[in-house]
């Protein structure tokens, strides 16, 4: 975990907060790491804002990244005003070139952090409480249609890559099970059950929540082919139970999976590949389930591991054909006919 790796470079109050998020609040490892990176950016800005404000006008990104936060104190945070937070957001926009979505995420991270400090009476006033988030226009996320999904799988399995069988199984799992990146890389051999009676996979989702996913024959075949070539590790290896291994026989990392998927997407979409990424495959799987199979949205919610139906709604796209069928088959006359039919029974 990154926040543990860098704790010697962080002030104690930050380390305590991150440990609280991980071990008490049970946030996922990746979530806590992202929290650390966001708060490190915030504290770097605060240090320069308080002690070397003029430098903020001319600092380069590399200089900013080399700013130490080890000596930041709670007293420094008590000096911050609402106006200072607003200047931080302007800095993220103009200097760091962060999008509105990224700025909102970093603001949300800072809000949670200051709520923790306020609750534990480490600060006198919470300067960030009244800061509003930027308005973001909702956009439909990119996803692959059925033909593009088949093309991606074909591109991988027909390549000359040494690890194409592993990469094919990874992609097949993404598209068929709509997994998050961290869920895929955390799969263990003991999470799998593939036999004549049952084909299931236990997924370790956000907040350490587990869910059971049923595997279709295509996924089972892809995994079984991979298991035949997967290196068998002794129990003295810490990653012996990991399903997907790197070339060094270590649990495959998020970054490596991102690279694998991105490289293959680039082969298909060429100059337009920047629009697609690993999460596109999760979204693609959910979209195909909803549009092609006409899956109920409540069932889709369980498959995706969402705690709220609102989160699932972004994974649903009513295709033109589906809309056409709905409008043609749900006329007022057809409704009246059904009502009349029910009354006659």
Could you give the residue numbers annotated as active site?
A: 180, 206, 279, 282, 306, 315
What is the CB-side half-sphere exposure of residue 266 using CA atoms within 13 A?
7
Contact 281, 175 (CB under 8 A): yes
Angle between helices 164-177 and 278-291 (to 10 degrees): 50
| Cα–chain center distance at 286 | 14
Q: Say how far apart CA 303 and CA 213 lie, in whole Å.
A: 7
Phi, psi (degrees; rounded to nearest 5) at 126: -95, 105
DSSP bridge partners of 95: none
Q: Say how far apart CA 100 and CA 89 lie, in whole Å.
A: 10
Q: Say how far apart CA 162 and CA 166 lie, in whole Å.
A: 9
Look up residue 10 and give its DSSP letter: S
Q: Say how far apart CA 161 and CA 263 lie, in whole Å.
A: 11
- For the chain, list the strands marked E by DSSP: 192-194, 199-204, 210-214
Contact 106, 60 (CB under 8 A): no
């Amino acid at each position: 975990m990154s926040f543990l790796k860098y704790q010697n470079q962080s002030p104690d109050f930050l380390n305590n907060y991150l440990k609280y998020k991980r071990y008490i609040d049970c946030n996922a490892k990746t979530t806590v790491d992202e929290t650390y990176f966001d708060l490190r950016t915030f504290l770097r800005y605060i240090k320069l804002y308080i002690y070397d404000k003029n430098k903020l006008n001319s600092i380069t990104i590399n200089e900013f990244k080399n700013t130490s936060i080890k000596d930041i104190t709670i007293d420094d945070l008590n000096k911050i005003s609402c106006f200072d937070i607003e200047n931080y957001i302007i800095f993220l926009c103009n200097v760091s070139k962060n999008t509105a979505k990224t700025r909102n995420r970093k603001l949300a991270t800072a809000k949670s952090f200051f709520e923790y400090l306020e609750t534990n009476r480490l600060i006198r006033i919470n300067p960030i409480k009244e800061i509003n988030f930027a308005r973001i226009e909702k956009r439909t996320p990119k996803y692959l249609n059925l033909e593009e999904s088949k093309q991606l799988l074909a591109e991988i399995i027909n390549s000359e890559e040494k690890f194409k069988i592993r990469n094919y199984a990874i992609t097949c799992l993404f598209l068929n099970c709509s997994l998050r990146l961290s869920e895929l890389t955390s799969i263990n051999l003991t999470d799998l059950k593939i036999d004549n009676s049952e084909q299931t996979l236990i997924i370790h989702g956000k907040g350490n929540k587990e869910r059971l996913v049923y595997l279709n024959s295509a996924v089972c075949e892809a995994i079984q082919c991979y298991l035949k070539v997967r290196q068998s590790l002794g129990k003295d290896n810490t990653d012996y139970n990991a399903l997907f291994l790197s070339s060094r026989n270590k649990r495959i990392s998020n970054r490596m999976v991102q690279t694998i998927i991105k490289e293959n997407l680039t082969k298909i979409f060429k100059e337009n590949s920047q629009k697609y990424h690993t999460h596109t495959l999760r979204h693609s799987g959910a979209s195909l389930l909803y549009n092609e199979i006409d899956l109920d949205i409540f069932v889709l919610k369980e498959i995706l591991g969402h705690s709220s139906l609102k989160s699932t709604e972004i994974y649903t796209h009513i295709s033109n054909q589906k809309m056409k069928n709905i409008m043609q088959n749900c006329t007022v006359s057809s409704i009246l006919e059904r009502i009349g039919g029910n009354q006659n029974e």
